[in-house]
Structure 1
């Protein structure tokens, strides 16, 4: 960035210097033209109707000549005595003319500004030529030296200033990089420093810290989930091992059919936990399943027809035409989980309702049981979270059913929450309607 700024400054300095030198050169040319024309006018005044001598004063110019219409030099200043005429251009009668000529006789390898006008003398009119050296392209050596010195100072100031400015601007980025380099998968407690000034780098630091917060929370959640899954899987395994060890100590007194039934119950619980853990892992890893337009009322009806009669009846209030874009298998799995949960806790009946609210499709599963206390309405969605009533009604439960339901809802840009129906529990799924 510093080099780029210096290059831009160089270009600007060159342009500014060129404009200044061009202006100085134009000014010098105008000044010298006035001088050489003044010299010609002085010759006109001095020799008007007189015969000029062979050697004349140069009138402060580099050279002066009087030339007759035939091109013969009649008079000349000391510098060009014996030289041919300085220029061949001839002004109109009564007019003046000037040219920039190079390799003028008497001035080899040099460019001159030559002005010409007619001078009336005795015996006829002569052409007066006066010449001064043309100014160089840079105007003057003094100006060139000043511009070079000024440009060098400007470039040094720009280079140092931009280097310091960019360094101070990017220092927070270097600090953030150093802090991020210390973060490992086992230690996400570091946070990058947030600059005091409000700019894009502060916004970047804030976003990075927010991302680290999310990563740390996700890691804590995964560690807790792993610990809880390990605990829940270890419990039935430990129970099965203890039963087998006791049975093997005195095999003749063991009721082996009952032992097999108990072991089968433990294995079924392990299988249920493993399936639910696998489902959650898949939902966490891939939320890009193929969605299709689905009528929620039709999907709920299909799921209800498949179910075996439960402990309590299921009533329906299904509004047709509530179409969403979803993975039918996942939504069906969620409905099954919600219905199982509602039937376990209902006193006399369960109600399933499907309706549309604005741009949202709503599925509500309501039971008339004891309900869920407000302080527990988020806890029940945590993985392996089980309230005492749930443990009593379903000892073989995994505590992952509602967690899976909420993950499925989030995978469809929806939400699953517990609302207050007045009595019992009301779990409400909300999903955006299909376009």
Structure 2
């Protein structure tokens, strides 16, 4: 139960920590780069400050052979010929520290050198400046070690400690927040685990916050309601189908048992007709159940362009004349996308139902309204009460008047018609014609 949540929590925490680590590295690099540039500027200012001090001190007198300086690591005075005329204590007797010469126009220049005598294996920052002296102009060179790229060990230690603390805060905070966010999912998972085929009444808790998880919980509950309704309908359908199939079988068994008790007095031809009637009823119920099962399982029938008026005219020509005549009002050019066999089955069921209940005639109309095709079957019978106009579309639902007129009916005809309508993205409803019954099929028109 907890493993998926832990996996998501671990992945999100790891991702957030990695992003925070990358940001820490970038921040540390920017800080160290800024610190390095600042230290470079600071050391250059020290070098030029030391050079300027030498310019002011020896502008009118010759510098001594030994220079005493503390601001820089090394210093030299070099004449125009390149001879070292004065140097700090560490540079006594050493060659010239730098070969570059500042232009007279700018009088000062600096370089980063990695081959300065006296500092093997180290890079130095060297600044040079012209010094006007009585015996001829001199160049004063001063040097300081190049600062390391990381600034200082203390700064690196502080950055590492701060980054570690920040990453710990991010990891713990992300772990906690993701856990709180996923807690409703854990509750939903626990509730879903309690649902079984025999107990579909459970619903997952809906969080108070209006977010994606609340939307998920709402959709899950809606799906569970649909599933529970579907299972209840299937159970009711199974029970009703079993009852309707068992009734003729039980009747046939009883008649056979009675006949076998006194076979000499039984009218066997009449018995055979009664048994045949029961078997035919069972066959009709089985065929209707099979049709409903196919419609429930697969609604991806092969549709084709169909002219409703032509289809209705063809089916009426094939139909055996019934108890009452059938009148038509068929508008041409009402084209739909349909499975012809299914629509023909729907029309046949509607006509059978209408002819059983009509008083004098049945009327079939086909017309178009806006982008909707309409097929209506009207009978002038007693009509259906408003409170029963949805019940008759339920499976095995039969009103008393229907049972009297057609005892052999299955109660599945109109249910099959509505399923066929839904399979064609249409509707089948009962409209009030004032007198009688009018069943109306609506389907989308096609160009």
Give the aligned partner of residue 153 of structure 1.
165
Give the aligned partner of residue 198 of structure 1.
210
Kindly state the Cα deviation for residue 344 of structure 1 after the two structures are TM-superposed. Answer: 0.1
Q: d(CA) in 2 for partners of 1:80 and 1:376?
A: 116
| Residue number among 34, 37, 47 corresponding to 2:48 in the alignment | 37
Q: Secondary structure at the match of 1:74?
A: strand
Number of residue equivalences: 435
Q: Which runs of 5+ in 1 are unaligned?
A: none
Greater CA drift, 252-261 or 65-74: 65-74
1:172-208 Cα offsets, whole Å, 9 max, x none, are 1222222222222222222111111001111011111
Question: Is the contact between residue 39 and residue 59 of structure 1 (CA under 8 Å) also seen in structure 2?
Answer: no
Kindly state the Cα deviation for residue 11 of structure 1 after the two structures are TM-superposed. Answer: 1.4
Question: Is the contact between residue 384 and residue 400 of structure 1 (CA under 8 Å) also seen in structure 2?
Answer: yes
Q: Secondary structure at the match of 1:110?
A: coil
Give the aligned partner of residue 420 of structure 2.
408
Kindly state the Cα deviation for residue 141 of structure 1 after the two structures are TM-superposed. Answer: 2.9
Residue 314 in 1 paired to residue 326 in 2?
Answer: yes
In angstroms, what is the RMSD of aligned CA positions? 1.2
Q: d(CA) in 2 for partners of 1:297 and 1:69?
A: 115
Residue 56 in 1 paired to residue 67 in 2?
Answer: yes
Kindly state the Cα deviation for residue 102 of structure 1 after the two structures are TM-superposed. Answer: 2.1
Query: Counterparts in 2 of 1:32-431, with a 5 A limit?
Result: 32-94=43-105, 95-431=107-443
Q: Secondary structure at the match of 1:104?
A: coil
Give the aligned partner of residue 21 of structure 2.
10
Q: Which runs of 5+ in 2 are unaligned?
A: 1-11
Q: d(CA) in 2 for partners of 1:85 and 1:179?
A: 86
Q: Secondary structure at the match of 1:223?
A: helix
1:380-412 Cα offsets, whole Å, 9 max, x none, are 000000000000000000000000000000000
Give the aligned partner of residue 7 of structure 2.
none
Please give the TM-score of this superposition, normalised by the length of structure 1. Answer: 0.98
Please give the TM-score of this superposition, normalised by the length of structure 2. Answer: 0.95
Greater CA drift, 143-152 or 361-370: 143-152
Kindly state the Cα deviation for residue 120 of structure 1 after the two structures are TM-superposed. Answer: 2.0
Q: d(CA) in 1 for partners of 2:108 and 2:39?
A: 19
Kindly state the Cα deviation for residue 72 of structure 1 after the two structures are TM-superposed. Answer: 2.5
Greater CA drift, 252-261 or 68-77: 68-77
